Structure 1
Amino acid sequence: MSILSQLFWRIAHLFGLLKNQKLTNDQRIIQLMEAFQADEYGHEANLQTADLGYGFIHYGLIRQIKPKTVLCIGSRFGYIPAVLAQACYDNGFGQVYFVDAGLGETDAAAYTGKAYWRTPQGMAIFEKFGLGKFITLFVTTTKKFATLYPNLAFDYIYVDGDHSYKGATFDYKTFWPRLSQGGLMVFHDISIKEPMPEGEYGVYQVFAAARKKAGALVFPFLGSGLGILQKTKK
């Protein structure tokens, strides 16, 4: 470090010019969490301390592997899709394909969905937050999406849609073959094993079987849990 650099840091420290030396931008994080109504409990996040919780894991992975294509299945108000899109934004490239059926509380298999993505506010929120270039919303089922875009492949896939065993199995079997070598498939709610008011949870069963065939990393948490699979060469 040069003498001038040393002098600058000493003066800055003396006059309190470096009060906030955190690596992260707390203001941006809080804005994102508020705009997309982050589920603090389900993602072990904390709005007051600008803690993205699981969001930091997704963000870090996207920044590290630098995917060109990301598939995000399901989100109540867009918290994780927004984190994925923000990571692509910060990378300077990448596209998030966000697929949500847009189901609400009166629909079967909604799994706490609020039909938010069928509202004008939901359809405009990513553009309004400055992430529109890096994410595209598809209000449809994963079955229809897979049929409409049979040639799309992905480097990173997040599964948080139909949490039933049947639904999670479909998403896994449909999109795992479309995951690139070295790519990651991430499952939310792998720790929930008991039936909930919104329905049965079978994601843990799907993940338990899938991890036997791929490299896996698990973040257990009674209220949700996160499981990561990496597709490696046979």
Structure 2
Amino acid sequence: MFTLNECMLDNILRNARPFGHHEDAMELNLGFGFIYYGLVRALRPKHIVVIGSGFGFSVVCLGLGLKDNKTGRLSFVDPSYSLLRNGPFKTVGGMAKWNDPRKVEEHFAGFGLETIVSHHRMISEVFFARFKHFDLPPIDVAFIDGNHSFRDARNDFINVLKHSKKNSYVFLHDSNIYVREMIRHAGVKRWLNVLRNNKELFDLIDFPFDSGVALVRVAQDNAWKYME
């Protein structure tokens, strides 16, 4: 049986609490979440990396795709920052939800994902520095939703490239937050413009609804060498 029945949709919308994914809780509509799930079902990735999530919406939607595929693993990277404790230059949507390993496991067990999702409580820079130590396979699909500054969006994207191959796919959330882009509090859109200027390396489609999400296909191996 597929996991996305009415009970699971309600569970996701209540407990994984999407924000800015073009969702509609009244209609049990996951919005972009259906794209995340559908891409995983279609591509059958072996390893997904998610960088940042307030309550785990992207993790759950992608992880359920792996569960229904009956193969694959998901590495979730989040240092568990909070806006009040760490400030707006560290996080905007962080709720410090990922502090307690037992509670993290219980949270994802509520979606049947406790054996699929592994949480790494650290910043993405440290995660990628330890990637080989964790003995992880190459990244087939990534979801970047951490610190949204231009520098961090760029660094996260390039680090994903270093651990992936041609025909891997990368989501970048919050591609449509104009005010934060205007005051230079975010730089996802500016980074996407850099990628658009490298058409031989990347294919890109942007969904400019709600907070927006972009999907990038990596068209060449070792594309990161041309971006540094």
Q: Same fold (TM over 0.5)?
A: yes
Letter in 2 for 1:107: N
1:218 maps to 206
Query: How far apart are residue 69 of structure 1 and its match?
Result: 0.3
2:58 maps to 80
Whether the aligned pair in 2 keeps the contact of 1:211 and 1:229 (CA below 8 Å) is no
1:206 maps to 191
Structure-2 separation of matches of 1:206 and 1:101:
23
SS of the residue corresponding to residue 132 of structure 1 reads coil
Structure-1 separation of matches of 2:180 and 2:8:
36
Letter in 1 for 2:208: P
1:34 maps to 14
1:177 maps to 162
RMSD (Å) for aligned C-alpha atoms: 2.1
Query: How far apart are residue 26 of structure 1 and its match?
Result: 1.9
Q: Which of residues 65, 76, 99 in structure 2 aligns to 1:98?
A: 76
1:111-150 maps to which residues of 2 (within 5 A)? 111-119=92-100, 120-150=102-132
Q: Map Cα deviations across residues 7-41 of structure 1 (whole Å, 9 max, x no partner).
A: xxxxxxxxxxxxxxxxx5222111122121222xx
Higher relative contact order (CA 8 A, sep 6+): 2
Structure-2 separation of matches of 1:91 and 1:230:
21
Q: Quick check: which has more Rg, 1 or 2?
A: 1
Structure-2 separation of matches of 1:127 and 1:190:
30
Is 1:48 matched up with 2:35? no
Whether the aligned pair in 1 keeps the contact of 2:47 and 2:140 (CA below 8 Å) is yes
1:162 maps to 147
Letter in 1 for 2:158: K
TM-score, normalised with respect to structure 1: 0.83
Query: How far apart are residue 212 of structure 1 and its match?
Result: 2.8
Structure-1 separation of matches of 2:24 and 2:46:
29
1:67 maps to 45
Structure-2 separation of matches of 1:233 and 1:146:
20
Q: Map Cα deviations across residues 140-180 of structure 1 (whole Å, 9 max, x no partner).
A: 10011011113642000100001011111110111122222
Instruction: Give the count of matched residue pairs.
Output: 208
Q: Map Cα deviations across residues 191-228 of structure 1 (whole Å, 9 max, x no partner).
A: 113238x980111111121133211111112x411111
SS of the residue corresponding to residue 39 of structure 2 reads helix
Letter in 1 for 2:218: K
